[in-house]
A and B are shown apart, each in its own frame.
Chain A
Amino acid sequence: GAGVSQSPRYKVAKRGQDVALRCDPISGHVSLFWYQQALGQGPEFLTYFQNEAQLDKSGLPSDRFFAERPEGSVSTLKIQRTQQEDSAVYLCASSGTSGGILAKNIQYFGAGTRLSVL
Chain B
Amino acid sequence: AQKITQTQPGMFVQEKEAVTLDCTYDTSDPSYGLFWYKQPSSGEMIFLIYQGSYDQQNATEGRYSLNFQKARKSANLVISASQLGDSAMYFCAMRELNFNKFYFGSGTKLNVKP
Contacts and interface: CB of A to CB of B under 8 A. Distances in A.
A10 to B, nearest CB: 10
B49 to A, nearest CB: 10
Contacts of A111: 42-44
Interface residues of A, number: 32
B45 interface: yes
A101 B94 CA distance: 11
Nearest to A56: B101
Given A42-B91, A112-B43, A95 B52 contact: no
Contacts of A40: 106-107
A68 B21 CA distance: 37
Interface string A83-98: 0000001010101001
A56 B100 CA distance: 9
Interface of A: 31, 33, 35, 40-45, 48, 50, 55-56, 59, 89, 91, 93, 95, 98, 100-102, 104-112, 114
Q: Closest 9 interchain pairs by CB?
A: A42-B104, A109-B45, A101-B31, A45-B101, A111-B44, A101-B97, A111-B43, A112-B43, A43-B104
